[in-house]
Amino acid sequence: MKEIIAIIRPSMINKTKEVLDVLGHPALTALSVFGRGKQKSILNEVKTVIDNQELQKQPGQMDYIPKRLLFIVVPDEDVSLIVEAIMKVNSTGNIGDGKIFVCPIEDSIRVRNKDRGLKSIV
């Protein structure tokens, strides 16, 4: 099993969830996060007002940018399919499209019935 961690634009979350659902991988955890990378600001993209002065670098620019953080655990054989789908949906060719990380998962346990390994995620 592998965990796919994807950081994407907030505006792309619904399209990403729809594609993952069509591919048979509807299970994911999504968080609203703030972060920073090479992208300095996304003027005219963010529809929310950021009141926290610590997040603002200068008027009209944000030192930390709103993103969505997705966690998806999949069988090893599905990693390439899911990564390619996330890249296809989220690629605009512009800075700030996101990042994807793939990490090994040693075990997984479904709390309800104690299923382990692949049985717990399918």
User: Which amino acid makes up residue 115?
Assistant: D
* % of the chain beyond a pLDDT of 70: 79
Distance of alpha carbon 122 from the chain centroid: 20
The two tokens of residue 56 are 């603002």
Quickly state the pLDDT bin for 42 (edges 50, 70, 90).
low
Task: Give the fold, CATH level 3, of 2-120.
Answer: Alpha-Beta Plaits (3.30.70)
Q: How do residues 22-36 score in pLDDT, each as one tens digit?
A: 999 999 999 999 887
Q: How do residues 79-102 score in pLDDT, each as one tens digit?
A: 999 999 999 999 999 888 999 999
CA distance 30 to 7: 10
CA distance 95 to 26: 27
DSSP annotation of 15 reads: H
Q: Is the pLDDT of residue 67 over 60?
A: yes
First to last CA, the chain: 11
Give the chain's mean pLDDT.
87
Q: Averaged over 7-36, what is the pLDDT?
A: 95
Distances (CA, A) of 64 to 6, 9, 45, 96: 17, 13, 14, 12
Quickly state the pLDDT bin for 37 (edges 50, 70, 90).
confident
